[in-house]
Amino acid sequence: KYLPAWLLIASHYNLQKNIEKSRKYYLKAAEEGLAKGYIDLGISYAGDVSLPSSQFKKDLKTLPQEDIDQAIGYFTLAGEAKY
């Protein structure tokens, strides 16, 4: 399996601001059993919610509900995978 590689590829695309491609590889890692992929997918939609609210990368008040729902879904999957 190439789990860590999927996350590295996703991070590479994320740094290039190619969010769609990064999400593709985060999902690939998650679907192959690396729950961190789900966490990173959620972060790609809602920002890093583990940081204090003043440090969010994205303002949850201005995010589309669809993005919030996507993030919740991926964070839930990560939780179900015991991450």
The structure's pTM equals: 0.85
Report the C-alpha gap between 9 and 56 in whole angstroms: 23
Q: For the chain, which residues score pLDDT lower than 70?
A: 1, 53-56
Helix (H) or strand (E) holding 9: helix 3-15
In order of 17, 60, 63, the CA distances from 34 in angstroms are 23, 26, 27
Give residue 53's pLDDT. Answer: 64
